[in-house]
Amino acid sequence: MKRFFKRRETTLFITLVAFCVLVSLRAPGFLAPENLNSILNDTCTLIMVALGQSFVILIGGIDMSVASTMAFTGMVTALMNQYNPGIPAWVYLPIAAALGTALGAFSGSLVAFGALPPMIATIATMSIYRGFVYVFSKGAWVTPHEMTAGYLALPSASFLGLSSMVWITITIVIAAAVFMRLTSSGRDIYAFGGNRTAALFAGVSGRKVQMLVLTASGLLAGIAGLLWVSRYGMAHSETAAGFEMQTVAACVLGGVNFVGGSGTVLGVVIGALFFGVINNALTVIHISPFFQMVIQGVIIIVAIVSNTLIDRNNQMKLVARRKI
Amino acid sequence: MASGQTILEMRGISKFFPGIKALEGVDFSMRLGEVHALIGENGAGKSTLVKVLTGVYRPTAGTIAFEGKERDFHSPVDAQEAGIAVIHQEASMFPDLTVAENIFSGHLRKGKTGLLDWRAMKTKARELLGRVELSVSTDVLVRELSVAERHLVGIARALSENASLVIMDEPTSALSLRETEDLFKIIRQLRGEGRAILFISHKFDELFEIADSYTVLRDGRYVGEGAMKDTSVDELIRMMAGRDVGHMFPVRKPNIGEEVLSVEGFSRAGFYRDVSFSLRKGEILGLFGLVGAGRSDVIRSLVGLEPRDEGRVRVNGKEVKIEGPRDALRLGIAHVPEDRQGQGLVLEMSIGDNITLPQVATLAKGPFLDSGAEDEVTRTYGQSMEIRAAGWGENAKDLSGGNQQKVVLAKWLATRPSILILDEPTKGIDVGTKAAVHAFISELASKGLSIIMISSELPEILGMSDRILVMYEGRVRSLFDKKDADESSVLKAATGADVAGSNVKGRAS
């Protein structure tokens, strides 16, 4: 029980709930089921992409290319849909997944075989992928009336009261949790991120791990890109611009260690939800969108500083406990 | 002050750390215009004495008189300002700064305007480089220099501080013969200028060539001093060793079987050449040599962590290819690295996850982990190693050093190896735990495990090994049987002092 309260996920979740209650005091409609459902739908893409991002951060890297990957798969599927309206819309899900996987694998191979640090490799691919969006679209937008009804309905089809967007996200979260906690590949990622040398001595393949995390990140960004574009009914060259920073922020808030080695799927999900709630709450209580960015930044700082202080305190207690 | 005058007088120096007496009542003095050798085995206290002298450590007891005045150095800067310069083996150079910047780091010169006067510094640097006969530009990055050239830059730095006492800690360990000769020329020149040089080296041929006098330390105590011309290799080795070995090590009746591993003709350019040896069932093979002799490099190539140019490996008579730790594990070879925190443990992971790390994939059912099988392994080996922890879920970072070492050992024993390679198994652990580790290693060998033990501690090598393979400068120097090995013959082989060949018991083939 003590352990449960010490966990970062728990404190973060409690803070989140307290925040929601506070907001609802000023805006009673905030906790209405419709509003919560809308927050959830707004946050789904962030959850997916932040999960992929967290894999890369777990090995001490960062994936700068996720937003460009989203724009890439969003634009490619939107153009395919525009010119082949006969193809059933569900086909674009595997297509987006495959495209994202390919883009992620390319970044991964730069890291694993080209020996580039993840950040450098993905800054390069970020530019390349975004560049292709301009090339394919010639700078033009794909607008809702150029998309088929099936394509636009991809994230919004309802099942048991929840949208397909939410169902897809739930599936991904469960798959990610199983992958990280219950497979040997997941264990390899934690080991490699926690102590690269010890992992190599123990027979973990560094290249495999590097390939794996960046490919997984690409896969999730690919799916998210399709859902983003079909949800907003708009594909253009600035799709999801700057989104990579939000995914990093969600990871950090969710307790993923920036030098690698520790962090959980649950933490990332709560971290992402936190941002979803804040964005919605600030709008509900009528705070200017310009000011929202400021507040987001402040929250990141408060979260990290308090976390560092708590960690240090726990560490000191441990030291004091040691018998001398 | 003139040549021959006493410049340094350390009296009754003691340095205690919690649980360890690193130095006890050591006397040490040096005169101007001489090269003084500080001699002792690993752990004899040489480095601690140097650190006390240079203000890195404050002595627990004792006095230091430098240039006739009693001094109390609070920090390395104090010692540096007093005129003591240290030229480290590798450290204390800034690879990404230029030669001139390195020479003047810590005492940059300013012009009248208060800004740095690079012109003056470069001019002075050129003059200093001339004096150490190094012909490189002052603007070249230190990164681009060879090890020998870096030493010369270090000496130039000492000259720029106008140090009267220059300390060189194993300066030749990474130098070729030719480069060593050049370095000695500069050392003689410094001596001729009336400076005092403190020279630390394990190589006796060098000591007799360059040093004028010596002081020997053993187990943190002063043993003796004198002039190099009045002593011999044998006498120095007697002074260095001079202690009873064997009785504190576990007695084991070796039950040695057939050959299980053979390494044939290993070579890697720049690291080691033509290294061959074999390991038999139930045997402990000790691997001894100075730092830089290539012991660990050979082992790292053997288990596939580093490449090699040539050489074959046979396990149980069959030639095998080992391209990484996973291959080695499959063949039953476990390699326990030296640095437990750096190479052995994932600190953020639980004890259980650390123990099962090398075999997660083999224990798993398909892609999925088998937590039942993992718990079983953790419990079996965690208990047999008597790891003290709140639970197997506790993170490795929360354990004491001794328990961390046990987790590392449990991890590798859990792979059920037939060949165990231990790199410095007792480095950095206290005497009591050391005895326990020795007993444990001995027990493993009795159970039929074949063990290669790398160690820099001579008593450990002599006390534990059935055979001792000694490496020197990247080559196998000697192979001793337990009954033929004694401190002086092994030390001579390891320091290259057995050149006459009379002490070579036969090279390994």
Q: What is the pLDDT of residues A90-121, one digit of tens each?
A: 999 999 999 999 999 999 999 999 999 999 99
Please report which confidence band the pLDDT of residue A319 belongs to, taking 50, 70 and 90 as the band edges.
Answer: low
Mean pLDDT for the stretch of residues B86-105: 79
Indicate the domain borders of chain B. 6-241, 259-495
Whether A225 is covered by a domain: the verdict is yes
As a whole number, the mean pLDDT across chain B is 86
Using the beta-carbon criterion (under 8 Å), do A191 and B344 form an inter-chain contact?
A: no
pLDDT at B428: 65
pLDDT at residue A205 greater than cutoff 80: yes
Residue B504 has pLDDT above 50, yes or no: no
Q: Which amino acid is at B223?
A: V
Do the domain assignments include residue A299? no
Distance CA B187, CA B177 (A): 15
Indicate the Cα dihedral angle B95, B97, B102, B106, nearest 10°. -110
Give A73→chain B minimum CA distance, Å.
29
Is the CB of residue B57 less than 8 Å from the CB of residue B20? no
Please check whether residue A248 lies inside any domain of the structure.
Answer: yes
**Antiparallel, parallel or unpaired: β B6-17 and B61-66:** antiparallel
Cβ-proximal residues to B256 (8 Å cutoff; 6+ apart), any chain: B280, B281, B282, B283, B466
pLDDT of B508 > 70? The answer is: no
Looking at domain B6-241, what is its CATH homologous superfamily?
Answer: P-loop containing nucleotide triphosphate hydrolases (3.40.50.300)
Inspect the interface and report whether the beta carbons of B353 and A187 lie closer than 8 Å.
yes
Note whether residue A39 is domain-resident: yes
**In the numeric block, which tokens belong to residue A159?**
């099942």
In terms of residue numbers, what domain contains A83? 2-290
CB contact under 8 A, B345 and A195: yes
Q: Do B369 and A184 touch (CB under 8 A)?
A: yes
Q: Closest Cα to residue A256, out of A32, A56, A40?
A: A56
In this predicted structure, which of B52-56, B240-244, B269-273 has the lowest mean pLDDT? B240-244
pLDDT tens digits along A253-271: 898 988 888 899 999 999 9
Task: Tell me what percent of the residues of chain A surpass a pLDDT of 90.
Answer: 60
The answer as to whether A259 is a domain residue is yes
| CA-based nearest residue in chain B for residue A320 | B398
Residue A321 has pLDDT above 60, yes or no: no
Q: What is the mean pLDDT of residues B93-116?
A: 83
- Using beta carbons and an 8 Å cutoff, which residues of A are at the interface with B? 181-185, 187-188, 190-191, 194-195, 197-205, 257, 261-262, 318, 322
Is residue A96 a part of any domain in this protein?
yes
- Tell me if chain A has a CB within 8 Å of the CB of B323: no
Mean per-residue pLDDT, B334-346? 83
In Å, what is the CA distance from B371 to each residue of A44, B367, B410? Answer: 31, 13, 18
Domain count, chain A: 1
Give yes or no for B340 touching A (CB within 8 A).
Answer: no
**pLDDT band, very low/low/confident/very high, at B1 (cuts 50, 70, 90):** low
pTM score, two decimals?
0.73
| B466 band by pLDDT with thresholds 50, 70 and 90 | very high
User: Is-contact B413 B220, C-beta < 8 A?
Assistant: no
Give dist(CA A162, CA B381) in Å, integer: 49
Are B326 and A187 in contact (CB < 8 Å)? no
Size of interface A-B (CB pairs under 8 A): 73
Cβ contact A182–B368 (<8 Å) = yes
The phi, psi pair for A320, rounded to 5°, reads -65, -30
State which residue of chain A sits closest to B329, comparing Cα positions: A203
The DSSP bridge partners found for residue A250 are none
Q: Is B348 on the interface with A (CB under 8 A)?
A: yes
Has domain B259-495 been given CATH number 2.40.128.120? no
Q: Which residue of A has its CA nearest to B401?
A: A322
pLDDT at A315: 67
Residue B87 to residue B163: CA distance in whole angstroms? 11
Q: State which residue of chain B sits closest to A315, comparing Cα positions.
A: B398
Which residues on A lie below 8 Å from B305 (Cβ)?
200-201
Which ipTM score applies to this complex? 0.72
What residue of A is the nearest CA neighbor of B341? A198
A101 belongs to a structural domain:
yes
Query: Does the pLDDT of residue B269 top 80, yes or no?
Result: yes
Mean pLDDT, to the nearest integer, of A278-294? 84
Q: What is the mean pLDDT of residues A273-277?
A: 91
Q: Do A194 and B369 touch (CB under 8 A)?
A: no
* CATH at A35: 1.10.3470
Q: Which of A185, A188, A262 is facing B348, going by the closest CB pair?
A: A262
Q: Is residue A53 part of a domain?
A: yes
The two most distant CA atoms of chain A are separated, in Å, by 76
